[in-house]
Amino acid sequence: MSLTVAVTGPTGEIGRALLGALDADPAVGEVRGMARRPFDPGAEGLGKVAYRRGDVLDRGSLAALLDGVDVVVHLAFSIFGGREQTRRVNLEGSRNVFEATVAAGVPRLVYTSSVAAYGFADDAPRPLTEDLPATGSDEFYYSAQKAELEAALSEILAGSEVEAYVFRPCLVAGPRATMLIRQTVRAARLGDPLPGLRRRLGRMPLPPPVLPDTGVAFQLVHQDDVAAALATAVAGGGPPGAYNLAAEGEVRVADVARSIGWRSLRVPGPAAALGTGLAGRLSFAVPQLEWATALRTPVPMDTSKARVELDWQPRFDASETLAQAAAGARDQGLLD
Statement: residue 272 has pLDDT above 60? no
**CATH 3.40.50.720 location in the chain:** 3-175+220-249+300-315
Which of residues 295 and 50 earns the better pLDDT score?
A: 50
Statement: residue 302 has pLDDT above 50? yes
According to the CATH classification, is domain 3-175+220-249+300-315 in 3.40.50.720? yes
Q: 101: part of which helix (H) or strand (E)?
A: helix 93-103
Query: What is the rounded average pLDDT of the residues 143-151?
Result: 95
pLDDT at 286: 40
Backbone angles phi, psi at 246, to 5 degrees: -160, 150
Closest CA to 175 of 18, 334, 325, 13: 325
Query: What is the rounded average pLDDT of the residues 32-51?
Result: 96
Q: What angle do CA 228, 216, 226 make, to 5 degrees?
A: 5
pLDDT at 295: 65
Q: Helices marked H in 176-317 — which ranges?
A: 179-190, 195-201, 223-234, 253-259, 269-282, 304-309
With b for 16 or more beta-carbon neighbours within 10 A and e for fewer, the 129-144 pattern comes to ebebebbbbeebbbbb
Query: What is the rounded average pLDDT of the residues 12-40?
Result: 96
Q: What is the pTM of this model?
A: 0.90
Tell me if 260 sits within 8 A of 187, measured CB to CB.
Answer: no
What are the CB-based long-range contacts (under 8 Å, 24+) for 161-164? 161/105, 161/107, 162/101, 162/102, 162/106, 162/107, 162/108, 162/109, 163/107, 163/108, 163/109, 163/236, 163/240, 164/108, 164/109, 164/110, 164/111, 164/240, 164/241
pLDDT at 105: 97
Query: What is the rounded average pLDDT of the residues 169-189?
Result: 88
User: What whole-number percentage of the chain has pLDDT above 90?
Assistant: 70
Which of residues 194 and 64 earns the better pLDDT score?
A: 64
The model's pLDDT over 84-123, given as tens digits with 9 standing for 90+, comes to: 777 888 999 999 999 999 999 999 999 999 999 999 988 8
Angstrom distance (rounded) from CA 188 to CA 174 = 21
Angstrom distance (rounded) from CA 145 to CA 189 = 28
